[in-house]
């Protein structure tokens, strides 16, 4: 099947990707080129095609790698790259590898592939036993996401690897975002990968899992999948994309901007990072406090008492604040939603605009709860914010205590008025059709408002498209002392 996915491209000279990138970056000294990947299928195609262009190294770091169509297609592409001599290193968080042990172990047997796990579980089958015996460590996960080829091009953002993250498959589609970056920031991402690869929180796969299988069999698509609609969509996008030709000709749209990587110390995964090195503190140092406008897009938004105080202080200083997160109907972790819902009235009373994304599925199709550290089945998965219309952050960081205190996170701070304004416009426009606006009625109760259409304004008095049981569960949980875990 993978042979059918080979993409057509002109004969490339040795070290083609590096030369193409250097030709563009030479014209913009000190700046990095940023190409947003808003479309899921484009994000898949960029990864697949970059693997095909790699000549020396591929360094990949992810929280989730699903054993589905996109996951297997990319595994297969990595195996082909390794076979032609490319050194592949894959660093995965072990929380979301159930069912992948055999595949990973068989790939790891290839001499050019090395796989390591972050905070690995000792109990491979009954992982809950690990939480019982080693909760303090296993509750800390590596949420970072990066994909770097030949040390000259990198992909950073909110997407994991899986059909739902690329806009296909049976799961709800995520509203997600990551970027292709070239230029100086790529070296920062490469250095950060090395830091994680050699950290004490990481273990080589062979010390955890054994295998004697064939790696090609491990990544082969089942016969039933090979002509399925999702695979055909992947194939069609690979045939249609002009990514390679545009990269070669220098016509791939890039915004050139001062760009910096912010990443947690990997010792955070062991609870040993210095407080001053954590991402929230470093973001404040690099970006500074908003002066005019602050847009937040976060799949999980749990501001906590301290965060609410900071937001209200900004609002008192005249900063316009708008926040988009998942509605309860679109959220797969009810306890996390409870950590946000308890603060809604206070935020609204002080003039902070709240929007909740509508689900893309019916009430009977709502995703099951995945747990505090599990993968998301939510409609919204992006994590980004813009500040004062001239800076933006794109990465893995959610505005919640788990991202701030427990999980390791990373992202890019991009100083670009063009990209920040574009993000603000997309944020504002998407709200009208895809989100409920929250407001307080005259009795101080939260209402969910449909933006006016042909039928006029529609107001919901309770959490829309949710059952009474879901609403009661949220009210119960927000009274429990579990906010630090969310």
Boundaries of every domain in the chain = 2-249, 263-485
Q: Say how far apart CA 478 and CA 256 lie, in whole Å.
A: 44
Pairing of β 320-326 and β 293-298: parallel
- For residue 457, what is the enclosing H or E element? strand 456-460
pLDDT of residue 350: 97
Tell me if residue 35 is catalytic: no
**Active-site residue, 268 included:** no
| Alpha-helix residue ranges (DSSP H) falling in 317-467 | 334-341, 344-349, 401, 417-434
User: Would you say 155 and 35 are in contact if contact means Cβ atoms under 8 Å apart?
Assistant: no
The pLDDT assigned to 219 comes to 78
Q: How far apart are CA 260 and CA 263, in angstroms?
A: 10
Closest listed residue to residue 41, CA positions, set 82, 76, 73, 78: 73
Q: What pLDDT does residue 365 have?
A: 43
Q: What is the pLDDT at residue 448?
A: 96
- Assigned token pair, 276: 């001053």
143 classed as catalytic: yes
pLDDT at position 484 is 63
Catalytic residue flag (residue 163): no
* Closest to 437 (Cα-Cα) out of 358, 350, 341, 377: 358
Q: Which residue has the tokens 């968080």?
A: 93
Q: Where are the beta strands (DSSP E) in 70-195?
A: 87-93, 113-118, 146-149, 153-157, 178-182
Annotated catalytic residue, options 35, 59, 101, 145? 145
A 10 A CB-CB count for 344 gives 17
CB 43 within 8 A of CB 34: no
User: Is 346 considered catalytic here?
Assistant: no
Residue in 150, 163, 332, 400 annotated catalytic: 150
**CATH fourth-level superfamily of 2-249:** Endonuclease Chain A (3.30.870.10)
Catalytic residue among 258, 388, 390, 424: 388
Helix (H) or strand (E) holding 192: helix 184-197
User: How many other CB atoms are found less than 10 A from the CB of residue 425?
Assistant: 10
pLDDT of residue 21: 93
DSSP-derived pairing of the beta strands 57-62 and 320-326: unpaired
- The reply to whether domains 2-249 and 263-485 share a CATH topology is yes
- Is 191 an annotated catalytic residue? no
Q: Cβ contacts of residue 280 below 8 Å, gap of 6+?
A: 404
pLDDT per residue, tens digit, the chain (486 aa), is 433 344 444 446 778 899 999 999 999 999 999 999 988 899 999 999 999 999 999 999 999 999 998 999 999 999 999 999 999 999 999 999 998 998 999 999 999 999 999 999 988 877 778 788 888 899 999 999 999 999 999 999 999 999 988 987 655 556 789 999 999 999 999 999 999 999 999 999 999 987 766 677 777 777 777 778 878 888 888 888 888 888 878 899 999 999 999 999 999 999 999 988 899 889 988 888 899 999 999 988 999 999 999 999 999 999 999 999 999 988 867 778 888 999 999 999 999 999 999 886 544 444 444 444 444 444 788 899 999 999 999 999 999 999 999 999 999 999 999 999 999 888 887 787 789 999 999 999 999 998 776 667 889 999 999 888 888 888 877 777 767 666
Task: Please pick, among 178, 383, 391, 400, the residue that the annotation labels catalytic.
Answer: 383
Per-residue buried b or exposed e for 209-240, using 16+ beta carbons within 10 Å of the residue's own CB: bebeeebeebbbbeeeeeeeebbebbbebbee
Question: Between the CA of residue 405 and those of 175, 281, 324, 326, 442, what are the distances in Å?
Answer: 25, 11, 22, 21, 38
Catalytic annotation, pick one of 35, 143, 342, 358: 143
Residue 34 host element (H or E): strand 32-37
Domain 263-485 has CATH 3.30.1490.20: no
């Amino acid at each position: 099947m993978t042979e059918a996915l080979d993409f057509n491209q002109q004969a490339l000279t040795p070290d083609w990707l590096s030369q193409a990138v250097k030709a563009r970056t030479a014209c913009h000294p000190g700046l990095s080129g940023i190409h947003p990947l808003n479309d899921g299928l484009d994000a898949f195609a960029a990864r697949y095609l970059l693997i095909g262009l790699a000549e020396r190294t591929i360094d990949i770091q992810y929280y989730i790698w699903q054993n589905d169509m996109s996951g297997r297609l990319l595994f297969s592409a990595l195996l082909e790259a390794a076979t032609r001599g490319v050194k592949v290193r894959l660093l995965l968080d072990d929380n979301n590898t159930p069912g992948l042990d055999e595949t990973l172990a068989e790939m790891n047997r290839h001499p050019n592939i090395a796989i390591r796990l972050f905070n690995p579980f000792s109990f491979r089958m009954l992982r809950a036993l690990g939480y019982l015996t080693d909760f303090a460590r296993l509750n800390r996960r590596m949420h970072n996401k990066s994909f770097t080829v030949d040390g000259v091009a990198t992909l950073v953002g909110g997407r994991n690897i899986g059909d739902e993250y690329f806009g296909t498959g049976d799961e709800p589609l995520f509203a997600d975002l990551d970027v292709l970056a070239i230029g100086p920031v790529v070296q920062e991402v490469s250095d950060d990968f090395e830091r994680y690869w050699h950290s004490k929180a990481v273990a080589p796969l062979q010390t955890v899992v054994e295998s004697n299988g064939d790696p090609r069999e491990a990544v082969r698509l089942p016969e039933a999948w090979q002509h399925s609609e999702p695979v055909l969509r992947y194939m069609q996008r690979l045939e249609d994309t002009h990514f390679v030709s545009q990269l070669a000709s220098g016509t791939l749209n890039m915004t050139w901007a001062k760009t910096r990587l912010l990443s947690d110390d990997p010792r955070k995964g062991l609870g040993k990072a210095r407080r001053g090195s954590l991402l929230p503190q470093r973001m404040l140092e690099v970006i500074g406090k908003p002066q005019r406008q602050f847009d937040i897009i976060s799949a999980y938004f749990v501001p906590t008492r301290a965060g609410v105080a900071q937001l209200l202080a900004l609002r008192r200083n005249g900063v316009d604040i708008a926040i988009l997160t998942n509605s309860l109907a679109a959220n797969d972790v009810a306890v996390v939603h409870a950590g946000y819902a308890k603060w809604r009235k206070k935020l609204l009373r002080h003039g902070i605009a709240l929007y909740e994304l509508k689900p893309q599925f019916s009430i009977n199709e709502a995703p099951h709860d995945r747990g505090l550290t599990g993968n998301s089945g939510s409609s919204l998965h992006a994590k980004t914010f813009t500040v004062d219309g001239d800076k933006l952050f794109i990465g893995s960081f959610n505005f919640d205590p788990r991202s701030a205190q427990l999980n390791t996170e990373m992202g890019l701070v991009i100083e670009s008025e063009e990209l920040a304004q574009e993000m603000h416009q997309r944020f504002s426009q998407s709200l009208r059709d895809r989100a409920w606006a929250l407001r307080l009625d005259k009795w101080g109760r939260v209402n969910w408002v449909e933006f006016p259409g042909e039928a006029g304004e529609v107001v919901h008095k309770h959490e829309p498209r949710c059952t009474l049981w879901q609403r009661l569960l949220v009210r119960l949980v927000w009274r429990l002392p579990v906010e630090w875990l969310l």
